[in-house]
Amino acid sequence: MTPAGPNEALRAERVRFTRSARLIIDDIDCTVPAGHVGALLGPNGAGKSTLLHLIAGIERADAGAVRFGERDLTALRRRDRARVIALAEQDVHDAPGLRVAEVVALGRTPHLGAFAAAGELDRAIVRRCLEDAGLVEFADREYATLSGGERQRVNLARALAQEPELLLLDEPTNHLDIRAQLSMLRLLRELAHGGLTVLAALHDLSLAAGYADHVIVLDGGRVVAAGEPRAVLTPELIRAVWGVEAIVLEHPDSGRPIIAFSDVASGPISRAAPVAVVGVGDGDGDGAGVGAAAAAGPGGTTEA
């Protein structure tokens, strides 16, 4: 596990960002309390990745500030910033031909001197991060040959090797099976309790509600709600932001919200109907031709 860093709060203050004459981030104010797991939620195109890039310093805001504790992150030089913040993204494009351990070792770059090679401490940190991400058996595999879920864990391990104080993640559960999703989020919680401040863009509202201490909901480049998952993730908010009907239940053990969706358009699914394969017609009237699966009712089901 990455050693505990100092607990600091992340604060974005009136951050504004325009691209191609479009206002993408519209005077955003938001906070992730020190040592918390924050979840950044919102529909496609809401501005989650852009906000993470602005916090990480990959993009420069037109206005506003990003602070971590007392430090102004926007004022830090690139190398200094990379010692404070790590961003785990879904796609790593700078790893052609590299093996997994080498990709993870790239995370040590901000800590190495200008011409210095990695030392024993760096190698030990890389080994520990491979272990934390469950990747020991993959250490010698070529990164390009990994599955999407395996790559996702490498991206996390590389970010952890940076030994950041602030860990940003863009859809870290994407491509992961359910067990790997839960273990990823459990690891983020453990890291937060160990001192890291974590902000992850997530799409799964129940996972966010189950693991995040603090959620920030973006819509159209603005923060529309923020706070404890239970207070924020209400059916009204979900309808307003995502345009879907949700039922918010309480987990019997943790008391945290579980979000279920009711698809009012298709109605209840009571019994799966056999799927008939019918010809869509090939013009000769015999019904043969390209097979198409036709469901007997809406959504491929019939009412009992």
Ligand X SMILES: Nc1ncnc2c1ncn2[C@@H]1O[C@H](COP(=O)(O)OP(=O)(O)OP(=O)(O)O)[C@@H](O)[C@H]1O
- 45 lies in the binding site for ligand X (CB under 6 A): yes
Q: Residue 161 and residue 146: Cα distance in Å, rounded?
A: 19
Residues in the interface with ligand X (CB under 6 A) total 12
Is the Cβ of residue 10 or residue 216 nearer to ligand X in the bound state? 216
- Residue 47 within binding range of ligand X, rule CB under 6 A: yes
Q: Which of 223, 229, 228 is nearest to 205 (CA)?
A: 229
Q: Confirm if 228 and 213 have CB atoms less than 8 A apart.
A: yes
Under the criterion CB under 6 A, does residue 91 sit at the interface with ligand X?
A: no
Measured from the CB atom, the residue of 47 and 57 that comes closer to ligand X is 47
Provide the 10 A C-beta neighbour count for residue 138: 22
How far does Cα 69 stand from its chain's mean position?
23
Beta bridge partners of residue 197, listed in sequence order: 166
- What is the DSSP track for 153-190? HHHHHHHHHT--SEEEEESTTTT--HHHHHHHHHHHHH
Q: How far is the CB of 119 from ligand X (least distance, A)?
A: 37
d(CA 147, CA 91): 12
To ligand X, the closest distance from the beta carbon of 24 in angstroms equals 4
Segment near ligand X (CB under 6 A), from 14-22, 135-143, 157-165, 266-274? 14-22
Answer for which of 8, 32, 37, 50 binds ligand X (CB under 6 A) is 50
Q: Cβ 195 to ligand X, closest distance in Å?
A: 27
List the one residue from 3, 4, 14, 19 that touches ligand X (CB under 6 A).
19
Where in 115-154 is the site for ligand X (CB under 6 A)? none
Report the nearest approach of ligand X to the CB of residue 88 (Å): 14
24 binds ligand X (CB under 6 A): yes
Beta strand residue intervals within 51-193, DSSP E: 63-68, 71-72, 85-88, 166-170
Provide the phi-psi class of 79: left if phi over 0, else alpha when psi is between -120 and 50, else beta: alpha
* Contact residue for ligand X among 20, 137, 264, 283 (CB under 6 A): 20
In the complex, minimum distance from the CB of residue 48 to ligand X, in angstroms, rounded to a whole number: 4
Which residue, among 218, 2, 15, has the nearest Cα to 124 in the 3D structure?
A: 2
Q: What's the min distance (Å) between Cβ of 100 and ligand X? A: 25
Is there binding between residue 227 and ligand X (CB under 6 A)? no
Q: Where do contacts with ligand X occur on this chain (CB under 6 A)? A: 19-20, 22, 24, 42, 44-50
